Amino acid sequence: MAAHSSTDNITEETFLIKYKQKSDEVRDMISKVEQDHQSLVLIDTIQRLGLGYLFQDEIEAILQHQFLATKSAIYDRDLYKASLRFRLLRQQGYHVRPDDFGEFKEDNDGLIKFKDCLIGDTKGLMELHEASHLSMEGEDILHEAAEFSSRHLNAKFASLNDDDEEAKIVIKDCLLYPQHKSLPQFKAKNFLDNLNGDSEWEILLQELANLEFSLVESSHKDEILQVVKWWKGLGLSKELKSSRDQPLKWHMWSMAILYEPTWSKHRTLLTKPISLVYAVDDIFDLYGTMDQLTLFTEAVIRWDISAAENLPNYMKICFAAIYDTTYEICSVVFQEYGWNPIETLRKVWGGLFNAFLVEAKWFTSGELPKAEVYLENGIVSSGVPMVLSHLFFLMGSGLTKETEILLNDSQGITYSVAKILRLLDDLGTAQDEHQEGYDGSYVECYMKGKHVHSIEAAHEHVMTMVSDTWENLNKQCLCSTRSFSHSLRKACLNAARMVPTMYNYDKNHRLPLLEQHIKSMLTDTEFTSSILE
């Protein structure tokens, strides 16, 4: 794989030497930074540029020092500093409590609330808002922080005039796309463009970030070409004329979930089951009869290719692709880690098909289930548990009794990510430009079952559920000692972070945020246009 767009081997070698040199300079710079607030600002900048994975040990050393210092330190009376420290420590997995934010509250006529003097501290309010998104169940002070910061940031935004456009952009970005629930690789280019470069360390990070973007873009272009070639080679898009044909969009899932360049091969492999989920979804929504779908499901559950012999050609092609892809992934897992996950992957594919079939029966009969029953099945039919099971093995995890329980835990990580996807997908604000089938929604089941007549009230209910699920996901990913590896937890968080981008349709049934991210990561417009054609 080339290190950048040039095919000149000498140039490639020079590029890699420069890349290593800049990485070493940054590493040396981090080791010399004072262990004070400036070290936290440095870590935040590195992570916002998407470079955090390069300096994990150095970042951990600084945060461990900060964590030990906070245990004996007096409360930090600077809102920005206290909020930044809390966010960086908690997202690293340190058990920090939000109680220290009580120092920023006061008794106002018997009501304990955040101090009015904080209202003018826009920088502090933004960082407090960022910190509030790492809340967990029962942390009322962070709920209050979220309400307080968002209310006054919105007021500040409304008070700014057109001359303050830059400040308005920064505040709006903080409110709409908080760091913890956003993907740094999608925001990194814009952050880099707005980095002043006023200090020596900022200039050094800018230089490394530019090299990193070149390296990552080259890798992504190679992967996309492989994915497109594989997808077109299946022939499904020719058989399913009305179905979605978006390999670049599907690969964006893998690019979001597994960002580091070392996962290139695994990204390409992961995109295959992701693509096939979309294909199967369209088959159930747009093409198959109930009899055909039932036979299709039974064949997959039995993992019997011959059982699909009498089914339509597109079903046979789809099953063959699922079958071949699963064994391809199993082969890679066995070669790299020494175990064969075929039994588990067969089972999760069967579970996905069964969930699709259950939905097909509901919508064919016209009888919608209770909202809770719909959601329980919809979590499986989202495809997330199936995809994350593949990810689990591709990242080197082995199946034990404990990890099998974790994979199937209805309150666990994989199901929390799936619940967020299902709920946001089902908000129904717009429909995919290529998806014409009807497959119901949680909102519809909820409104009918609970006799709710206001769509706004239903949407508010769903967003509360999403917020609660995020709190559970935070607990599972950031503080749980009985959980998956750090790398897998991070990948699952990235999957949840990607969900709003994939379902934020505009009135033209397009995904402007996704398109913006594609342009920021693939600056070669000619290449991108050729893939999208």
Query: pLDDT digits over 327-386, tens only?
Result: 999 999 999 999 999 999 999 999 999 999 999 999 899 888 999 999 999 999 999 999
Residue 2 pLDDT more than 60?
no
Determine the Cα angle at 279 with ends 275 and 280, to 5°.
Answer: 115
Question: Which single residue is written with the structure tokens 């690789």?
Answer: 185
Average pLDDT over residues 260-282: 96
Strand partners, 114: 105
Q: What is the pLDDT of residue 402?
A: 81
Q: Encode pLDDT of 315-334 as tens digits.
A: 999 999 999 999 999 999 99
Q: What is the pLDDT of residue 526?
A: 67
Report the SS3 class of residue 18: helix
- The CA distance from 503 to 517, in Å, is 14
Sequence letter at residue 90: R
pTM for the whole structure: 0.92
Q: What is the pLDDT of residue 108?
A: 82
Tokens standing for 55?
């300096």
Q: Higher pLDDT residue, 52 or 4? A: 52
Question: Which single residue is written with the structure tokens 């029966």?
Answer: 361
Average pLDDT over residues 205-212: 95
Q: What is the pLDDT of residue 132?
A: 98
Tokens standing for 309?
């012999």
Residue 532 pLDDT more than 60?
no
Sequence letter at residue 287: Y
Sequence letter at residue 440: G
Q: What is the pLDDT of residue 529?
A: 66
Nearest to 425 by CA among 516, 336, 533, 502: 502
Q: Encode pLDDT of 52-76 as tens digits.
A: 999 999 999 999 999 988 765 545 6
Average pLDDT over residues 505-510: 75
Question: Which single residue is written with the structure tokens 């998956």?
Answer: 484
State residue 27 phi and psi, 5-degree precision.
-60, -40
Average pLDDT over residues 493-507: 90
Nearest to 212 by CA among 1, 15, 495: 15
Residue 383 contacts residue 357 (beta carbons within 8 Å): no
Tokens standing for 462?
């769903």
Domains and CATH numbers, the chain: 235-528 (1.10.600.10)
Residue 124 contacts residue 118 (beta carbons within 8 Å): yes
Residue 317 burial (CB count, 10 A): 18
Residue 408 pLDDT more than 80?
yes
Q: What is the pLDDT of residue 198?
A: 80
Q: What is the pLDDT of residue 9?
A: 55
Residue 120 pLDDT more than 70?
yes
Mean pLDDT, the chain, whole residue set = 90
Residue 471 makes CB contacts below 8 A (sequence gap 6+) with: 135, 136, 137, 139
- The CA distance from 330 to 345, in Å, is 9
Average pLDDT over residues 99-105: 93
Q: Encode pLDDT of 136-180 as tens digits.
A: 999 999 999 999 999 999 999 999 998 899 999 999 999 999 999
Helices (H), 283-400: 290-302, 313-337, 342-365, 371-381, 384-394
State residue 289 phi and psi, 5-degree precision.
-80, 165
Please give the distance of CA 20 from its chain centroid, rounded to a whole number: 29
Place 312 in a pLDDT band, splitting at 50, 70 and 90: very high
Strand partners, 107: 112
Q: What is the pLDDT of residue 317?
A: 96
Q: What is the pLDDT of residue 162?
A: 83
State residue 154 phi and psi, 5-degree precision.
-65, -40
Q: Higher pLDDT residue, 230 or 3? A: 230
Residue 356 contacts residue 301 (beta carbons within 8 Å): no
Helices (H), 427-511: 442-449, 455-474, 486-503
Residue 468 pLDDT more than 50?
yes
